[in-house]
Amino acid sequence: MKTLADRLRYYAKRFPIAELDSSYHFFPTRQNKDLWLNNTPSGFTFDLWAYSLFTGQPTTVGSLPKTIREEYEELANHKGNLYLHHLTPDVINRLWEIFASFVKEVDSAGKLGVLLFQFPPWFYPNQENLDYLLACRRRFPDYQLAVEFRTGSWFSGEQIKETLNFYGSIKLLLSVLTNLRD
């Protein structure tokens, strides 16, 4: 297979689903979105990773959409990794809107599986993080959300009951846990 489109069509003939982790690293371009949607058959689905900033992960300025980087010139001078707390509420809302638009397009094409939020090892069970998960659910009330943790504290001791009750109450799917360290 010489082209990405050929490889994707070959893959899609053999498997009904793919995980798009590139949406974790950068906002998909129109070209990439069209490639994914136009080279997979009806019934094929994509599980989309939430953008890294939305899960508390370090993110580079270069991964932000070009329109955001151009509109908010102060971002060009930012050194090192970005986290949500480095951004104004306006920028954060715009990023969520752009991501939601992409999700809607994949869903409108009938190819959306779940939105996967993969949280870092420092995302522990506490009220602030529970509130954040509720906010994610409110942003995407009509879609299946999956959550992956990188710490076992969500499932240790008595916390397991609270975790399962909370996630069941707001209809989040729990993804396979990996790299559990505690």
pTM metric for this prediction? 0.88
Q: Which of 32-36, 60-64, 88-92, 161-165 has the lowest mean pLDDT?
A: 161-165
Tokens of 176: 């396979």
72-116 per-position pLDDT tens digit: 888 878 888 999 999 999 999 999 999 999 999 999 999 999 999
Could you give all domains of the chain from N- to C-terminal order, each with its CATH number? 20-174 (3.20.20.410)
Residue, of 77 and 3, whose pLDDT is higher: 3
